[in-house]
């Protein structure tokens, strides 16, 4: 029968397995700060954009409110974010990074570079991989099988 599983020729499996392996690499550092990978991603958006509405954060992370709300609740409990109702529309909720989150940003600023080094990619290879994955994400979001 051989060593093949049938999965070794599927790009989708390579993407899935690489995603899990990458998240595991991040987990080692994030666990020390009490963060999950999705929480880290939410903080990255806030560090980049500053205060953001829950709706816009959900769009940026491609998460629905059922997944995003508990994530934000945990970040708030940990002291990383605060929520604030909009002044013009109380249905709008703004998420603000706290000073604790800003301090954490400095500890995690080089995490993407550490990941690139851990998977033994050159800067050019890393940039090419990032570009190709962006194309895959964009195309997959607009096409249907």
Task: Please write down the long-range contacts of 86-95, taking CB distance under 8 Å and 24 or more positions apart.
Answer: 86/53, 92/53, 92/54, 92/55, 93/53, 93/54, 94/51, 94/52, 94/53, 94/54, 95/46, 95/51, 95/52, 95/53, 95/54, 95/57
Q: Which CATH number fits domain 11-109: 1.20.210.10, 1.10.10.10, 1.20.120.80, 3.20.20.70?
A: 1.10.10.10
pTM of the model: 0.86
**Model confidence over 54-84: pLDDT tens digits?**
999 999 999 998 999 999 999 999 999 999 9
What is the residue extent of each domain of the chain? 11-109
- The model's pLDDT over 77-133, given as tens digits with 9 standing for 90+, comes to 999 999 998 778 778 899 999 999 999 999 999 998 888 888 888 889 888 999 999
């Amino acid at each position: 029968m051989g060593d093949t599983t049938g999965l070794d020729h599927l790009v989708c499996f390579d993407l899935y397995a690489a995603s899990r392996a990458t998240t595991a690499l991040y987990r080692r550092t994030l666990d020390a700060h009490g963060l999950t990978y999705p929480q880290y991603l939410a903080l990255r958006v806030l560090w980049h954009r500053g205060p953001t509405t829950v709706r816009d954060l959900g769009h940026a992370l491609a998460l629905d409110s059922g997944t995003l709300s508990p994530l934000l609740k945990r970040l708030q409990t940990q002291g990383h974010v605060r929520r604030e109702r909009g002044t013009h529309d109380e249905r709008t909720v703004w998420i603000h990074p706290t000073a604790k989150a800003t301090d954490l940003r400095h500890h995690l600023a080089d995490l993407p570079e550490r990941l690139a080094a851990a998977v033994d990619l050159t800067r050019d290879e890393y940039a090419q991989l990032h570009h190709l994955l962006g194309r895959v994400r964009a195309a997959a979001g607009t096409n249907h099988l």
